[in-house]
Amino acid sequence: MDIFEIMRWRRSVRKFAPKKIELEKLRQILEMARIAPSSSNRQAWHFIVIDDPAIIKEIPKQVAMGDKVVISWLKDAPCVIAGCYTKAVTHHIATMFGHNNHLIDVAIAMTHICLAATALGIGSCFVGWFNTKRLKKLLGLPAHYQISVLLALGYPADGSTDEGIGGIKPRARKEFDDVVSLNRYGQKLRKA
């Protein structure tokens, strides 16, 4: 599968088979995050791999914001990766100009993880619904780090099809011209 096929095949998988991800595959996936680009090459990130079922089961109980049902499915994920960051000097400067490069850096690296996992037949789902303070405590994260996002990983419970990993059909997407402009907002990009 090439990168374009992987991107089209990827879905948010929330039902996982009770199978651990092999360590060699997990390391291969995380290596793709390690080599991801970052602003000023700061690499001011850290990835916490959570594969202890007891800790994973605590996440929806202890750290959900509001209705715990929103992320209750997370308890069955064989692996959860917490994408963490600390701000380098360049990040503080960028923030003064309204740019959150530190969050962009983590997002790029986590997307690398997501796509690498998909290429290996491993499902994923981003989670941004959590109480940061409680999650930092649960994971023993040093004070100078923050958590940007969680990514659940695991083999899909349902078989994959040509339509999508885990047999999940594609969801409706906005039209191309609704999300792309040329030079100025609202000007359509020419067709090839």
Q: What are the structure tokens assigned to 101, written together?
A: 């490069």
Q: Is the pTM above the cut of 0.75?
A: yes
**H/E element holding 146?**
strand 146-154
Q: Which pLDDT band, with edges at 50, 70 and 90, does 69 fall under? A: low
pLDDT tens by residue, 154-170: 999 999 999 999 999 99
Structural domain spans, the chain:
3-179
Contact 151, 127 (CB under 8 A): yes
Closest to 86 (Cα-Cα) out of 31, 130, 41, 43: 43
Q: Which pLDDT band, with edges at 50, 70 and 90, does 37 fall under? A: very high
**Quick one: pLDDT at residue 68?**
61
The larger pLDDT score, comparing residue 88 to residue 57, is at 57
Secondary structure in 3-state letters for 60-85: HHHHCCCCHHHHHHHHHCCEEEEEEE
Supply the DSSP symbol for 185. Answer: T
**Quick one: pLDDT at residue 87?**
82
Q: What is the mean pLDDT of the chain?
A: 93
Q: What architecture (CATH level 2) is domain 3-179? A: 3-Layer(aba) Sandwich (3.40)
